[in-house]
Amino acid sequence: MGKDNVKVLAQNKKARHDYFIEETYEAGLELFGTEVKSIRLGKVNLKDSYAAIEKGEAFVYNMHVSPYEKGNIFNKDPMRTRRLLLNRYEINKLIGYIQQKGYTLVPLSIYLKGSLVKLELAVAKGKQLHDKRQAIAERDAKREVEREFRGKEY
């Protein structure tokens, strides 16, 4: 992600804990007006969401966008499947990745880039339990070293 007017609205923190991130892509989202307004207010949740490719198109599932308060009849189902806007080359590359054993598509974050709503999509490989334990041990060790370093300032 560049520095050109980007505002992160929601992140999937669990994804970085549960998966090794191999590659990331920026995708647009096919949304309705009330969904865009709700997302701009930050009322979006990526927890437990995932992406898949069906019939040559990419979709995101289980992404919760809360109904817009002033949207009345125009509000859509909060958990509906939304199409991702990727070009053919990117979709073909993603198909090649997910046909390999253990790879999946995981949304990492949703953000505003200028006036457009974008989704950061990652090609990820699932971590085993021992990998998670190792990552936690490394994080704790790093935290301990920083604590020691701060304590010795004069």
| 72-80 mean pLDDT | 70
pLDDT for 113-123, tens place per residue? 888 888 888 88
| Residue 144 confidence (pLDDT) | 85
pTM higher than the cut 0.85: no
Cα–Cα distance measured from residue 24 to residue 92, given in angstroms and rounded to the nearest whole number: 15
Whether 123 contacts 97, CB under 8 Å: yes
pLDDT for 27-65, tens place per residue? 888 887 878 888 888 888 888 888 888 888 888 888 888
| Domain architecture of the chain: domains with CATH | 6-127 (2.40.280.10)
Angstrom distances, CA of residue 123 to CA of 45, 79, 115, 127, 128: 19, 22, 26, 13, 16
Strand partners, 20: 125
